[in-house]
A = this chain, B = another copy of it.
Amino acid sequence: MIAVLKHGTTPDQTAHLVNWLKAMNLDVHISEGTEVTVLGLIGDTSRVDMDLLKSLEIVADVKRVSEPYKQANRKFHPKDTIIQCGDVRIGGGYFAMIAGPCSVESEEQIIEVAKAVKESGANILRGGAFKPRTSPYAFQGMKGEGIKLLLEAKKETGLPIVTEIMNISTLDLFSDVDIIQVGARNMQNFDLLKELGKTRKPILLKRGLANTIQELLMSAEYIMSEGNENIILCERGIRTFETATRNTLDLAAVSVLHELSHLPVVVDPSHATGKAKLVAPMACAAAAANCDGLMIEVHNNPSCALCDGAQSLTPHQFDELAHRVRLVREAVR
């Protein structure tokens, strides 16, 4: 960390600040220039309150030289992480095609969709059992029963499954789930992240609607700091002023995340856009941006879906999408 002192700071003021910093177990290296004095802080600066330091009268500016995340950082782990999930691999050139309904609704529905998406090339099945809904009066998911049906569909098709957890107290229900999803609204539910860090299950961590790329990596760091390194990052759109789409899909985040981190990055164009018509072009765009996987909502009867039907594809539309995505991936390799 670098602190730049203002022109005119007295030696006494500088000494006072240096002592305060040393009391935090930091080494301080002083470089006096003609215009400014620069303090280099060496040691564990992760506990230093940058804003406080910046607010001091004599401090012109403060900069972190190193990123605040360590284990998620590509600098300390240059090779791509590859997540193993049953026979499926994600990252480092391996591609996850995750598909399935927003909500599990019945055994018939989930098995029919699972078979269809597998046929079209999906290698992981998604399906919501616990559903975070803005309204307390909206359908909240089949909960534990939904997970059982997903496991039925897994048995039937062999596809590993991913489903969302909302609450630590339900963790036991996820023992046979292959990938646990943390939804956008829980990206900074730090207690949940820490508990998931104590498992060794792959975690699919969705970016929050108003969270920066750095905050996403800090949330991954929460999980990793407890020992679980199996993390899949997911870009699913951010909240902006534009209302023509539900959210704004930030595809540049894929490249930025690949540069900063070794973790795989998948993209969810269904939630990002909220409109079935936009899912296929955004899926192709994400593949062209070199993402490590896609997460697509597919329903056997979108107009009867209990939630998010507006953004669900039919199995037939998904089949076409999957074909186009394969062509795009070949083109950019």
Contacts and interface: CB of A to CB of B under 8 A. Distances in A.
Nearest to A41: B35
Interface in A46-73: 46-47, 49, 51-52, 54-56, 60-61, 63, 65, 68-69
Contact of A303 (B56, B208, B308): B56
A47 B139 CA distance: 7
Contacts of A221: 135-136
A252 B52 contact: no
Contacts of A274: 51
A167 B212 CA distance: 24
Contacts of A173: none
Contacts of A190: 132-133, 136, 166, 185
A32 B311 CA distance: 29
A47 B137 contact: yes
B47 A309 contact: no
B254 A281 contact: yes
Interface residues of A, number: 108
Given A63-B4, A255-B277, A305-B52, A214 B244 contact: yes
A165 B141 CA distance: 25
Interface of A: 2, 4, 20, 29, 31-36, 38, 40, 42, 44, 46-47, 49, 51-52, 54-56, 60-61, 63, 65, 68-69, 132-139, 166-169, 185-186, 188-192, 194, 208-210, 212-215, 218, 221-222, 225, 238-246, 248-256, 259, 272-278, 281-282, 284-290, 302-303, 305, 307-311, 324, 327-328, 330-332
